[in-house]
A and B are shown apart, each in its own frame.
Chain A
Amino acid sequence: MIRSIVVLIEIIISYLLQSSVFSYFELAGVVPDILLILVVSTAFFRGQKAGMLTGFLAGLLMDLCMGDVVGICAIFYMLIGFLNGYSNKIFDREDYLLPMALITVSELLYNLLYYFFVVMLQGNLKFGYYFGKIILPRVVYTLFVAILFYKLFQMLHLMLAHFENKER
């Protein structure tokens, strides 16, 4: 219960950071994808189901706030939560390399999905251009920011886990 509320708050704060704060710190015209960092981290900490639900809600929020077609980002983020959930089996709180790699691959996957299912269908066929101009900078910037935010989400997760264990 507490956990769902915390995750919900995390989603909203991540979205706010992404849309309002980081628009002041744009690099190469892109903002980092903090929601994705949250989804991947949650899936890594707590497995597929939690990852999927977090992803779905995060994507839905983005769809409702910015997109035209509701449900697309929800599905993409949900898929990312599902795939990353497999890594939960080898979760190790000391391991920072694996989550960073997961975040990078996931961001790449999300952008490719988004390009092929949304941008390309609107008639923009210049993949090379989009890849160099948006996708690559986004992946790099997200990875850069992930170093900080992953640690933050992990701290929250460990705090909650500690709290829950005490209750039981």
Chain B
Amino acid sequence: MKRRKARRVYLRPKHLLYALLFVGVVLIYISYRYKDSFAPVKTWVGDLVTPMQKGINTIGTYLTEQIELMDSKAELQAENEALKAEIESLKIQNSILVSDGYELAALRELYEVGQKYSDYPMIAASVIAKDSNGYYSVFTIDKGSEDGIAKDMNVIAGNGLVGIVTEVGKRYAKVRSIIDDVSYVSGMFLKTNDTCDVKGDLELLEDGYIRVESIRLNAEVEENYEIVTSHISDKYLPGILIGYVSNIEMDSSNMARTAYLMPVVDFEHLENVLVITELKKTMDE
């Protein structure tokens, strides 16, 4: 008994503290020095955790749906009636639009207008987890490399830009949205082709805005102009709508102008997104 006790090494808490601190610092150093060295580990952990998140998520969605179902039946019926009437009028409008569409396609061909982003190949995906830290706007979607998703693919929702894929696992992918503090997108005014930088800003986001910087002084821009992704961006496909500009004012340096931008995507209630499976072609390809 005595011998057994003597042989057992007693690890003091302080020593464990130093040991773990050392391991932590080494990890930080490695991940900082060699940027992608942890990618395989991250992917492995992601592949492990994501299916579980997906499972739990179904429960969450189910609960939300149940709560929504409690809305009174009469209300839904009235809504149904109104919607039916709307469908009828939309059908008529649609048939007009379809014929217009044919005409447009023919005219486009004549003018050789470049592709609109509605022509890009896309995959639908749902958001299954959000960053739990509060400081970043990163979320996880339920499609990964096996579904044909790769790093740097653009993500849209509705008709506007959401963000970019930053990490891909077999069955999941991480998306950094454009409202993230460290996000940076090269944008362009659709009307005048003046370029600008669109940056996330956590503080402005409270009022539903993000920031636009580096607008040329002599650019003829006005409030409510559309900003789309620019041709010179190296990761974003050109011509994707980002949002509408407002509050244009002089930069503190007086060398350029800054503005607010109202994104077209509702980031608060993001459930389904579309991933464009076409990558921007860069110089070295």
Contacts and interface: CB of A to CB of B under 8 A. Distances in A.
Contact of B45 (A31, A65, A68): A65
Interface string A52-78: 110010001111111111111011001
A16 B52 contact: yes
A87 B116 CA distance: 63
A64 B56 contact: no
Chain B binding site: helix, strand, loop or mixed by DSSP? helix
A21 B208 CA distance: 24
A20 B129 contact: yes
B53 A19 contact: yes
Interface size class of B (residues with CB under 8 A): 35 or more
Given A70-B28, A74-B27, A126-B203, A24 B38 contact: no
A133 interface: yes
B64 A24 contact: yes
Nearest to B206: A133
Interface stretch (B14-22, B250-258, B274-282): B14-22
A128 B149 CA distance: 40
A23 B13 contact: no
B134 A64 contact: no
Contacts of B182: 122
A107 to B, nearest CB: 12
Interface in A18-34: 18-24, 29-31, 33
Given A75-B25, A126-B203, A20 B17 contact: no
B45 A20 contact: no
A4 interface: no
Contacts of A64: 38, 41-42, 45-46
Contacts of A18: 132
A61 B13 CA distance: 22
Nearest to A31: B132
Given A52-B16, A75-B25, A124 B31 contact: no
Interface of B: 11, 13, 16-17, 20-21, 23-28, 30-32, 38, 41-42, 45-46, 49, 52-53, 56-57, 59-60, 63-64, 128-136, 138, 140, 181-182, 202-203, 206
Interface of A: 12, 15-24, 29-31, 33, 47-49, 52-53, 56, 60-72, 74-75, 78, 82, 85, 114, 118-119, 122, 124, 126, 129, 133-134, 138
